[in-house]
């Protein structure tokens, strides 16, 4: 079966990890396009802010049973689902390969050697399968590829295309599904829930817009509420010069420009996932 290439809307770190735990299959490799310290900091801030505060208890009813030793009520703070060590989470997370990619050079170096042989260093579950929920194929998930290229000499169609072609070539060696998505800021507006079929057999919580016929489609197969980052213009070649004092549609780049979405549309389908409906 040929590999599938999917882009999903930007997600918070906790949404990314939760989605992979639900829909992943062995072997799954996650390429985090930032340093370990930066990702852990983002994840910690996300999980902490996602934990809802307890409502104030009624005056005549204690919020929790009293501590027998001190006579004071015990606080019960609800935890994020990732902080709860369920058997499901523990059994799956230990079989996921997580790689931190701080630079573009690191990304391309990892892609040049990435294969099922390297992924197999992370042991398989006893039955070689995970729960049959959603997608039944292994994945290569790239988190933050676009932002990794931003504000570098590779911020161009040439630079992005080179990295994407390396990713496609890597996935072709072991027939794994490729999923690309960016990190979302908490204030970013999200869209409605749509179902996505990434492997042609099962739904995984979103819908893919086929890239067939994209050349004649003005929005490249994306729905009207798609992520605005796809419309951002980049120069065609590395090292292009930006003109100052201009706020044009081409973002002030000298020479020809192209939308980021059109670069991805050469290989990828555009879809939404379950976190897209939340507000």
Give me the residue spans of the domains in the chain: 5-49+78-277
- How far is residue 187 from each of residues 5, 36, 190, 231, 273, measured CA to CA in Å? 27, 23, 9, 19, 18
Tens place of pLDDT per residue across the chain (279 aa): 566 899 999 999 999 988 888 887 778 899 999 999 999 999 988 888 765 554 455 555 455 555 555 555 555 555 666 666 666 666 677 778 899 999 999 999 999 988 766 655 566 665 544 444 344 578 899 999 999 999 899 999 999 999 999 999 988 887 889 999 999 887 644 444 434 444 444 444 555 555 544 343 445 555 545 678 899 999 998 766 665 555 555 566 677 899 999 999 999 999 887 776 553
CA-to-CA distance for 160 and 258, rounded, in angstroms? 11
User: From the CB of residue 257, how many other CB atoms can be counted at a distance below 10 Å?
Assistant: 19
User: If you write DSSP's letter for every residue of 16-65 in order, what string do you get?
Assistant: HHHHHHHH--SSEEEEESS-HHHHHHHHHHHHHHHSPPPPPPPTTS-SSP
């Amino acid at each position: 079966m040929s590999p599938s290439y999917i882009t999903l809307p930007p997600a918070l770190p906790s949404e990314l990890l939760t989605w992979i735990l639900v829909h992943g299959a062995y072997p799954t490799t996650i390429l985090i396009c930032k340093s370990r310290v930066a990702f852990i900091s983002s994840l910690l801030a996300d999980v902490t802010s996602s934990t809802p505060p307890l409502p104030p208890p009624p005056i005549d009813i204690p919020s929790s049973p009293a501590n027998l030793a001190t006579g004071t009520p015990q606080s019960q703070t609800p935890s994020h689902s990732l902080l709860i060590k369920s058997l499901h989470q523990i059994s799956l997370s230990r079989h996921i390969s997580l790689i931190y990619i701080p630079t573009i050079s690191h990304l391309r170096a990892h892609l040049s050697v990435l294969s099922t042989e390297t992924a197999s260093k992370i042991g398989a579950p006893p039955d070689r399968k995970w729960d049959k929920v959603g997608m039944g194929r292994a994945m290569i998930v790239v988190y933050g590829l676009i932002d990794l290229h931003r504000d570098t000499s590779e911020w161009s169609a040439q630079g992005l295309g080179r990295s994407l072609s390396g990713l496609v070539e890597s996935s072709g060696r072991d027939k794994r599904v490729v999923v690309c998505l960016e990190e979302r800021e908490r204030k970013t507006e999200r869209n409605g829930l749509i179902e996505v079929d990434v492997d042609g057999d099962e739904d995984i919580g979103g819908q893919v817009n086929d890239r067939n016929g994209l050349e004649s489609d003005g929005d490249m197969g994306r729905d009207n509420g798609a992520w605005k980052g796809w419309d951002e213009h980049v120069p065609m070649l590395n090292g292009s010069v930006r003109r100052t004092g201009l706020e044009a549609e081409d973002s002030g780049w000298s020479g020809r420009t192209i939308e980021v979405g059109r670069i991805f549309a050469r290989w990828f389908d555009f879809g939404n996932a379950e976190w897209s409906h939340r507000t």
